Amino acid sequence: MKITTWNINSVRLRLSGLARIIKNLCPEIICLQEIKVTNDLFPSKDIADLGYPHQAVAGMKGYNGVAILSKRPLTKIKTREWCGKADCRHIFATIADKRLGSIEIHNFYVPAGGDIPDPKENAKFAHKLQFLKEVAAWQKGRQKSPGNMVLVGDLNIAPLPTDVWSHKQLLKVVSHTPVEVKALEQLQLSGPWIDAIRKKIPPEKPVFTWWSYRSKDWTINNRGRRLDHIWTTEALKEKITAVDIYQSARSWEKPSDHVPVTITLTP
């Protein structure tokens, strides 16, 4: 089973890019963030025609929004609101597989956090930290035996020194500050969750999934960050057989600033 996560940065604007990803990667499940469209305007038929008739969507006008696209039926579809905000940042559903069993898939778009890494001075940063804290507490209290679960999405944090182009220069930049990394660690422990990317790619090797639009030629300076993640519970740990960072998508015409990340689970 292939599961792809991608911050598409407007599903209607990059529908052709989604089609290209489907053709090249052929995932069973695709989780999108920042779809930036209300549910009634979501291109459901176009996506169904691409082979994904089963869809779970939580969208809003112009901002945020998450969706799960699947070749197989989705059940137990739910959304949750965090920090008292109805801002469409979390949707989850269950998919059945004869060999892997039922898998609960969570798709998150964590708040970016603004520019100032101080919750007292920056409400957006405070929101980000509170969001992570609430999700961790919820997950920790849900069940003693989490079973088959996958958590994906744009978590907007690059935790390891090798997840950013310069650990030293980004320590005080939102997405790589120690307080955010600590909050993400607490969320990871709530599963406990396994970092699927780093299960297959050694922690000492640089891995990026996002490059700023501000860089005119991102391939030369390669100032990236690993903001997009796929985690699994312990029950699926040994079934992670491949990881793909689709870096070439960043060079497409009208690209997202994020690239798709895919894992393969094999029974």
Each residue of 195-247: pLDDT tens digit? Answer: 999 999 999 999 999 999 988 789 998 999 999 999 999 999 999 999 999 99
**How distant, in Å, are the alpha carbons of 44, 173, 195 from that of 114?**
32, 10, 25
Q: Please report the pLDDT score of residue 147 as a whole number.
A: 85
What's the pLDDT at 174? 98
Q: What is the DSSP string of 106-156?
A: EEEE-----S---TTT-HHHHHHHHHHHHHHHHHHHH-S---SEEEEEE--
d(CA 21, CA 69): 13
Q: What is the pLDDT of residue 144?
A: 63
From first to last of the 267 residues of the chain, give the pLDDT tens digit.
999 999 999 999 999 999 999 999 999 999 999 999 999 999 999 999 999 999 999 999 999 999 999 999 999 999 999 999 999 999 999 999 999 999 999 999 999 999 999 999 999 999 999 999 999 999 988 866 668 999 999 999 999 999 999 999 999 999 999 999 999 999 999 989 999 999 999 999 999 999 999 887 899 989 999 999 999 999 999 999 999 999 999 999 999 999 999 999 999
Query: Is the separation of the CB atoms in 77 and 55 below 8 Å?
Result: no
Q: What is the pLDDT of residue 141?
A: 87
The third-level CATH classification (topology) of the domain covering 2-265 is: Deoxyribonuclease I; Chain A (3.60.10)
- C-alpha distances (whole Å) from 232 to each of 1, 93, 236 are 13, 15, 6
Cα–chain center distance at 201: 17
Show me where the domains of the chain are located.
2-265
236-246: burial string, b at 16+ Cβ within 10 Å, e else: beebbeebbbb
Q: What pLDDT shows up at residue 217?
A: 85
Contact between 137 and 130 (Cβ < 8 Å): no
**What confidence tens digit (pLDDT) does each residue in 121-145 have?**
999 999 999 999 999 999 988 866 6
d(CA 89, CA 73): 22
Q: Where are the alpha helices (DSSP H) in the chain?
A: 15-25, 44-49, 123-142, 167-170, 178-189, 196-200, 218-221
* Partner residues linked to 230 by β-bridges: 152
Predicted TM-score (pTM) of this structure: 0.97
pLDDT at 149: 96
Q: Which helix (H) or strand (E) holds 241?
A: strand 240-245
Nearest to 14 by CA among 212, 263, 249, 262: 249
Helix (H) and strand (E) counts in the chain: 7, 14
Specify the amino acid at residue 251.
Answer: S
